[in-house]
Structure 1
């Protein structure tokens, strides 16, 4: 009798386990089916765009970036079947700003479509605290940090002070606006006709003399300079405003 009781008891437990499993399984399947293709597209595209912004923030060394991503689904998305795997979303090397468009697809069932999204971003960036005109040299006193709202055209941004201070303005910088790489250039220390000091150094020897610049130039660019004492024309490198150095 004890043996028969054990069989019946074990059989009852197994039956209960199978009953509970069969009750849970449909619920799990139904939960997966409730996620539509539209929801998948919106969720996964938003995650990708935020991931790209996070990568940019990390690479640029920025302390604060705020973003709002709004996905605009095309009407055809409502007819698509949900994808059992992660969606295939094309990436872009450009910073996602303003209105962006990405191709989104699924392998099985096979479908592809283009999806648009609006990406609004603000970031804490170095900006000019006054209007800086073309030709001006930028000092640390000219720059401050502010939270700035970015626009579609703000893609070639300068995010580090080392890339700004000491540079020369090529295109006017507006107050409290983002600074772009094309607005900056290496400082032009010498213009044609400028009176300059020529410095010569070699093995502890140092001398300086007066000269006249025959060419304009900035850091790293050799220019022709006339030595006013000897009348000779030499090659020298601008090192500061009104100063050039010869290299032996």
Structure 2
């Protein structure tokens, strides 16, 4: 084979190879177009109903990367099975000409900084700001809840031992004890048009807004009251 013929064969092979690559890439580009349109429309809807312009994205779990919708001359319609929420959602895409319907699952990812343990803590340990880092997470995956401010976690007490890197949720923490058993407290009694305050003794530990037993030091009567603050029990 001459050098000229060899070069000609190489050019033909290269052209066939590039054409094959173009065919493989075409479905991906088309699929990406409709997915991008769905993402733009739903993210706009999310901002309208939530007022939240947080870092967000949409994915289609279980969907092949080269999946294409059937042709639709008028453009497809979009409907949600339930109100849009962070996490998994059901989606119906439809077309009137030609008529078709497609049901898909989509994941709405909403990314926010949430409170995460910077270091391991033990059971009954009060947390401080030094124990907490704010780390970006997809809140749609945090089904047990989360905290978006350090101050909401500061001084809370860990219910059990937790590892570093744990995303904190309300079921992991208790409010701090602000009244201790046998502590001298003020008992405040509220009645219509009158407020009385007297000395008392707490008969059990109490957290904010918990009901505890207290003893009136003057009458020695035991009553239930709500912990209203440090050293203060409110009796209605």
Per the normalisation by structure 1, the TM-score is 0.57
Pick the structure with more strand per residue: 2
2:150 is matched with 161
Larger Rg: 1 or 2? Answer: 1
1:42 is matched with 35
Instruction: Name the CA distance, whole Å, in 2 between partners of 1:120 and 1:246.
Output: 44
SS in 1 for 2:96: coil
Q: RMSD of the alignment, in Å? A: 4.4
State whether structure 2 residue 99 is matched by structure 1 residue 114.
no
**1:81-115 Cα distance to aligned partner (Å, 9 max, x none):** 2252353141644313xxx4532322413322222
Instruction: Name the CA distance, whole Å, in 2 between partners of 1:141 and 1:132.
Output: 11
Paired positions, count: 202
Instruction: Name the CA distance, whole Å, in 2 between partners of 1:107 and 1:138.
Output: 55
**1:185-229 Cα distance to aligned partner (Å, 9 max, x none):** 4444457xx2222214589986544x242x554212322223467
SS in 2 for 1:235: strand
Instruction: Name the CA distance, whole Å, in 2 between partners of 1:177 and 1:48.
Output: 34
Instruction: Name the CA distance, whole Å, in 2 between partners of 1:208 and 1:228.
Output: 6
1:109-188 superposed matches below 5 A: 109=97, 110-117=99-106, 123-147=112-136, 149-150=137-138, 153-155=141-143, 156-170=145-159, 172-188=161-177
Distance 1:162 1:229, change over 3 A: same
Question: Does the 8 A contact of 2:94 with 2:102 survive in 1?
Answer: no
Instruction: Name the CA distance, whole Å, in 2 between partners of 1:56 and 1:127.
Output: 28
Distance 1:119 1:207, change over 3 A: closer
1:231 is matched with 220
Question: Does the 8 A contact of 1:225 with 1:233 survive in 2?
Answer: yes
- Unaligned 5+ segments in structure 1 are 1-33
Per the normalisation by structure 2, the TM-score is 0.59
- Unaligned 5+ segments in structure 2 are 1-26
Q: 1:118 offset after TM fit, Å? A: 6.3
Distance 1:133 1:160, change over 3 A: same
1:87 counterpart (77, 84, 89): 77
2:8 is matched with none
Distance 1:94 1:172, change over 3 A: farther
Q: 1:233 offset after TM fit, Å? A: 0.6
